[in-house]
Amino acid sequence: MIMLEITNLHAGYAGLEVLRGIDISISPNEIVALIGPNGAGKSTVIKSIFNISDVTSGSIVYKGEEITDLHTHELIDFGISYVNQGRVIFSNLTVRENLEIGAELIRDRHVVEKNLSHVFRKFPVLKRKAGQLAYALSGGERQQLALGRALMQNPSLLLLDEPSLGLSPKLQKELFETISQLREDGLSILIVEQNAKKAIQIADKTYLLEDGKIALSGGKDIIKHEKIKNVYLGGRY
Amino acid sequence: MNPYITNLLILIAIYIILAVSLNLALGYTGLLNLGHIAFFGIGAYASTLLTQAGVPFIASFIIAGAISSIFGFLLVYATKKLRGDYLALATLGFNFVIYSLMLNWKSLTRGAAGIPGIVKPSFFGFTIQSNISYLIFVSVICIFCIYLMYLIVRSPFGRLMQATRDDEFGLRVLGKNTSVIKYKVMIISSFFAGIAGSLFVHYITYVQPNYFTLTEIILVLTIVIVGGIASLKGTIIGTFVIVLVPELLRFLPLGSSVLGPARQIVYALILLGILLYRPRGLFGRADLQ
């Protein structure tokens, strides 16, 4: 079974075509990584799934249903959540309020409480700091909060846009461990990453994007490919 | 009570409603709205014209707020693609448009001559004549308005307002339509500005376009910035500070030609001091971007 199937996707912003025919598939319980140079269109793939960029042609099918034209809140109801770039959180609200806003679309209080305790178990530091204003959090804690906020929606597919951006190597390592754990919990994850090596290591499948097209795809052994070695890892590996 | 003090307190109560409602849009939601005085003016003229047409005060008062709300919605709808400085300029422009209308639509507003003889508020067969009773009346309304706005900012909707300010895109990807949040906020904010305008003209019983100029925008903005972004308490205290401190100049032996400019200097000094030493204002909880 396939969770998400993107076929021949052309998309961009207001007339500017960024993606020029992309095919990607994600199976349940799988981490798929998108790597590539700046401007290749990595984030645009995620934004197309979430209907934030303009899709000109092609199809996106999720659990057998065409979702290309659905609104953001409908996609969230379907179980797709998005964590945007830059760990942006609502810094003048408390940690708890940030999480509750994540579940704003869920009407059932019990479900919200259940999701909240799940997130608190996953990220104990958020529970400790639940009453504090979010701007006092460190970079790593902010990333946990951004992830936790998406988990409040109880997604089955999580879209992560450059989650490691600006984190120290130690925090990056923790973050990638967390992401692997989320797969253990049964989530499918599409991750856009500039840290190509780490992304390939945790991913079940990696796509290399170049100039709006898939240049290469494969499993963990993709790291040995000449192209990846020379261009993205500086030939050091 | 000393009539001078009574007069000041009445103006403070009106300015509190005006400034706190501006803080809802500007401070809590991050909408850099410089058109707030236009809503104050629209409320003032609406209430004047309605009562002169024979509509009872209470109805005029509420309708004045509602008409301001309609303009508030139209303004935010027309500027929905603008952010930050661009929104500030567009809303400032809106202010000048409304001012020009007040000045030039003479058949409706009598232009620069203004409209005198506005009735004192009366309801249930009782008319508010003395300034003391007006003070009580306006204080009750002011406290009620503050309480309503307090309930709004403490509600889940208030959290969404602040989330819109902190990270609008982040809120949109959580499935919230932030445009709708902004529409609602501007409708609420301009309603309160409109009723403040009504309270203002029924107190001084005269209205003219010059009450709604750039100077007034600066005054209300100064109150909000000094009191602090996204703080109701700060705005209330800010109003007292900004209205009362320049009044102290009256007790100095200054000529009337010096008094006006001296007042402007005091505003500037307060504003500079705040920006240098407390950039978030007295009780601010967020930065103004």
- Does any CB of chain B come closer than 8 Å to the CB of residue A100? yes
For chain A, say whether B286 makes contact (Cβ under 8 Å): yes
| Per-residue pLDDT, A109 | 85
What was the pLDDT predicted at A233? 61
Beta carbon pairs, A and B, within 8 Å: 63
Q: What is the pLDDT of residue B279?
A: 80
Residue A235 pLDDT more than 70? Answer: no
pLDDT band at residue A37 under the 50/70/90 scheme:
confident
- Show the low-confidence residues of chain B (pLDDT under 50): none
- A100: chain B residues, CB-CB within 8 Å: 156, 159
Cα(B61)–Cα(A168) distance, integer angstroms: 58
Residues A221-237 have a mean pLDDT of: 67
End-to-end, the C-alpha distance of chain A in Å comes to 35
B217-223 contact pairs (CB < 8 A, 24+): B217/B34, B217/B36, B217/B37, B217/B92, B217/B95, B218/B267, B219/B15, B219/B267, B220/B15, B220/B18, B220/B19, B220/B22, B220/B36, B220/B37, B221/B22, B221/B34, B222/B267, B222/B270, B222/B271, B223/B15, B223/B19
Which residue among B162, B169, B175 sits closest to A93, beta carbon to beta carbon? B162
What is the rounded CA–CA span in Å between residue B52 and residue B42? 15
> What is the arithmetic mean of pLDDT over A33-49?
88
Measure in Å the smallest separation between the Cα of B157 and chain A Cα atoms: 10
For residues A125 and B129, give the distance between their C-alpha atoms in angstroms, rounded to a whole number: 61
Q: B182-237: per-residue pLDDT in tens? A: 999 999 999 999 999 999 999 999 999 999 988 889 889 989 988 888 889 999 99
In this model, does residue A8 exceed pLDDT 50?
yes
Please name which of B8, B66, B68 lies closest in space to residue B33, comparing C-alpha atoms. B68
Touching check for A84 and chain B: CB below 8 Å? yes
Q: Which two tokens stand for residue B145?
A: 């308005």
Three-state SS at B212: helix
Angular region, A24: left φ>0, alpha ψ -120 to 50, beta rest: beta
Tokens at A233, concatenated? 């890892």
Interface test with B, best of A101, A112, A192 (most B CBs within 10 A): A101
CA-CA distance, B14 to B243, in Å (whole number)? 11
Does B159 contact A92 at a Cβ distance shorter than 8 Å? no
A237 occurs within a structural domain: no
- Chain B nearest C-alpha distance from A143 (Å): 13
Residue A207 CB-density burial (10 A; 0-12 exposed, 13-18 middle, 19+ buried): buried
Percent of chain A exceeding pLDDT 70 equals: 96
Q: Do B163 and A90 touch (CB under 8 A)?
A: yes
Question: Residues 225-254, chain B: which have Cβ within 8 Å of A?
Answer: 230
What total number of domains does chain A contain? Answer: 1
Cα B201 to the chain's mean position, in Å?
A: 13
Distance CA B205, CA B199 (A): 10
- Give contacts of B163 with chain A, Cβ < 8 Å: 90, 93, 101
pLDDT of residue B287: 67
Q: Tell me: ipTM over 0.85.
A: no
B163 inside 8 A of chain A by CB? yes
User: Which among A52, A91, A102 has the least Cβ separation from residue B174?
Assistant: A102
- A55/A57 Cα distance (integer angstroms): 6
In a domain, A33, yes or no: yes
The reply to whether A2 touches chain B by the CB within 8 Å rule is no
Residue B167: list chain A partners with CB under 8 A: 88-90
Domain membership of residue A167 (yes or no) is yes
A101/B171 Cβ within 8 A: yes
Interface contact flag, A101 B160, Cβ < 8 Å: yes
Tell me the pLDDT of chain B averaged across its residues: 90
> Is some CB atom of chain B closer than 8 A to the CB atom of A88?
yes
- Region A131-139: what's the mean pLDDT? 89
pLDDT at A236: 45
DSSP A133: B
Nearest-neighbour CA in chain A from B118: distance (Å) = 44
The token pair that represents B164 in the structure block: 């819109």
Chain A CB within 8 Å of residue B153 CB: no
Q: Which residues of A touch B162 (CB under 8 A)?
A: 90, 92-93
Which residue from B169, B174, B285 is facing A101, i.e. has the nearest CB?
B174
CATH number of residue A87's parent domain = 3.40.50.300
What's the gap between Cα B144 and its chain centre? 16
pLDDT, chain A, mean = 87
CB B7 within 8 A of CB B40: no
The domain in which residue A173 lies consists of 4-232
pTM exceeds cut of 0.80: yes
At residue A232, the pLDDT reads: 64
Residues B244-280 as b or e (16 or more Cβ within 10 Å = b): eebeeeeeeeeeeeeeeeebeebbeebbeebeeeeeb
- Name the H helices within chain B: 3-23, 36-52, 57-78, 84-104, 106-109, 131-154, 156-166, 168-172, 178-204, 214-227, 232-247, 256-277
Structural domain includes residue A152:
yes
* Chain A interface includes B165 (CB < 8 A): yes
